[in-house]
Amino acid sequence: DVKVTQSSRYLVKRTGEKVFLECVQDMDHENMFWYRQDPGLGLRLIYFSYDVKMKEKGDIPEGYSVSREKKERFSLILESASTNQTSMYLCASSLHQDGNNEQFFGPGTRLTVL
Amino acid sequence: AQKITQTQPGMFVQEKEAVTLDCTYDTSDPSYGLFWYKQPSSGEMIFLIYQGSYDQQNATEGRYSLNFQKARKSANLVISASQLGDSAMYFCAMRLTNTGNQFYFGTGTSLTVIP
């Protein structure tokens, strides 16, 4: 079974702190994604990566950065956390090919910034 | 620009009845894939069904079917014989081949199955 794991289910941080959210997948997927999910807004793409050391901005990259040093790991970084970054963060991975290559999701990290 | 539109924030259905969740999409690319995911209250995203833009037949997976109307750019999910465990958020998504397999998600529909 494909497994996507995220380092924390719940996280509480203070404004201004640097926050690292880690995501690891074990199926050798090329593509990895970071979303945030807010009520009424669905899933919004922050960043994605289709290869090691490659990254592409999604719809809401401001205030975030990412790192992909190894194929299986995709990290989301909040350089200076703010209260408006309180949200559920979902990581996903998929194969880089046409067809039924659905995204596999991690369990999510619920981040609260105080 | 909104690429996936789900116009029903909330839906109710009687147990054992069928329900249709609406999804329209917007793209001029000829190659794309359409997906539906279920998100129960526990939070995990569960893949339900896929439809490719070149597929001639509507996709079916058990009690789920996708009513694909290409000319109308709609990809509605039909759940037959609803069960209490179907109560969840449902998200429609589109993958565009020429954008590095990026996915676009709708805002979701909350389905409640009434006993």
- Residue B1: per-residue pLDDT: 57
- Residue B101: per-residue pLDDT: 73
* Mean pLDDT for the stretch of residues B13-34: 94
Phi-psi map region of B85: left, alpha, beta (phi>0 left; psi -120 to 50 alpha): alpha
Percent of chain A at pLDDT > 70 equals 96
* Mean pLDDT for the stretch of residues B78-82: 97
Kindly report the backbone phi and psi dihedral angles of residue B97, in degrees, each rounded to the nearest multiple of 5, phi listed first. Answer: -65, -35
- Tens of pLDDT, residue by residue over A54-105, are 999 998 999 999 999 999 999 999 999 999 999 999 999 988 776 677 899 9
- Residue B96: per-residue pLDDT: 83
Q: Which residues of B touch A87 (CB under 8 A)?
A: none
- Residue B103: per-residue pLDDT: 87
- Residue B77: per-residue pLDDT: 98
CB within 8 Å of chain B, chain A residues 42-71? 42-45, 48, 50, 56, 58
Whether residue A2 lies within 8 A of chain B, CB to CB, comes out as no
Whether residue A87 lies within 8 A of chain B, CB to CB, comes out as no
- Residue A96: per-residue pLDDT: 76
Q: Which residues of A touch B107 (CB under 8 A)?
A: 40-42
- Residue A2: per-residue pLDDT: 62
Residue B113 in this model has a pLDDT that exceeds 60:
yes
Distance CA B78, CA A12 (A): 39
CB within 8 Å of chain A, chain B residues 11-40? 31, 33, 35
* Mean pLDDT for the stretch of residues B29-41: 93
Lowest model confidence (mean pLDDT) among A29-38, B66-75, B95-104? B95-104
Tell me the residue type at B83.
Q
